[in-house]
Structure 1
Amino acid sequence: MTSQELAKEAAGAADDKKAQNIIILDVHHLTPVADCFVICSANSGTQVEAVSKAVREKMEAAGTPCHATEGLAEARWVLMDFGDVVVHVFRREEREFYNLERLWGDAVEVPYSVS
């Protein structure tokens, strides 16, 4: 699978847990850290945890293990590193504060439709 296809898998898992405002950013030309970022919002810490768990399970089922996870204990901003794809699961307030979409404003948004 390409990194964009993997990002869409992660986005689909987040959508299955009712994550909101899911976007995929192609950042491969901006940073060597990853090819794609998946960014989504959740309404509560419990939902952040559920979305993160679903994404991890879906990505591992696709043969892409999670190399590192940060922020799960606080469940306000969880960052999951799948190599070429980095997933950010935010509580809404945290997402508004950090505004990664603005920070990575030169990234190309990958079309993704939610269910």
Structure 2
Amino acid sequence: MDSKQLAQLAVKACDEKRGEDIVLLDMQQVSLVSDYFLICHGNNERQVQAIAKEVQEKAEENERIVKRLEGFEQARWVLVDLGDVVCHIFHKDERQYYNLERLWGDAPLVETSSESFGG
């Protein structure tokens, strides 16, 4: 599974748990940290945790190791580090405050519709 397929898996996992405003940034020419940043939010702590858990479970089902899972207990900003893909799952209020899309504004947006991933 390459990094784009892993990003697709994470997008689908977020969508299945009704993650909102899912944004996928192509970080390959912008940062050495990862190939993709996935950003989404949930409307409450329980939903944020459900999204993060779904990403983790889908990755593990596909034999991908979750390198780090941070912020799960507080569920305000959960980071799921899959190596090539880093998922930022915010509580709605924190997402507006941190505005990672603006911070990484030079990273190209990747279309997240099923057609763009061949699904």
TM-score w.r.t. the length of structure 1 is 0.95
Measured against aligned partners, the alpha-carbon deviations of 1:53-108 in whole angstroms (never above 9, x if no partner) come to 00000111122110111111110000011111000100111000000000000101
CA RMSD in angstroms comes to 1.0
Specify the alignment match of 2:67 in structure 1.
67
How far did 1:8 drift? 1.1
Alignment-derived partner of residue 30 in structure 1 = 30
Asked if 1:88 is matched to 2:88, the reply is yes
Question: Runs of 5+ in structure 2 lacking a partner?
Answer: 115-119
- The one-letter code sitting in structure 2 at the alignment partner of 1:25 is L
| Cα distance in 2 between the residues matched to 1:23 and 1:63 | 24
Q: Tell me the number of residue pairs that the alignment of Structure 1 and Structure 2 aligns.
A: 114
Between the aligned partners of 1:63 and 1:3, the Cα distance in structure 2 is: 13
> Residue type of the partner of 2:26?
D
Q: CA deviation at 1:112?
A: 0.7
Q: CA–CA distance in 2 between the matches of 1:49 and 1:4?
A: 24
Amino acid at match of 2:104: W
- Does 1:100 pair with 2:100? yes
Report % sequence identity. 46
- Partner Cα separation in structure 2 for residue 2 and residue 36 of structure 1: 11
Distance in 2, Cα, partners of 1:105 & 1:5: 23
**3-state SS of 1:72 partner:** coil
Which runs of 4 or more aligned residues in structure 1 lie more than 3 Å from their structure 2 counterparts after TM superposition?
A: none
The aligned counterpart of 1:19 is 19
The within-5 A match list for 1:52-63 is: 52-63=52-63
Give unpaired runs (5+ residues) of structure 1: none
Q: Give, in angstroms, the shift of residue 18 of structure 1.
A: 0.6
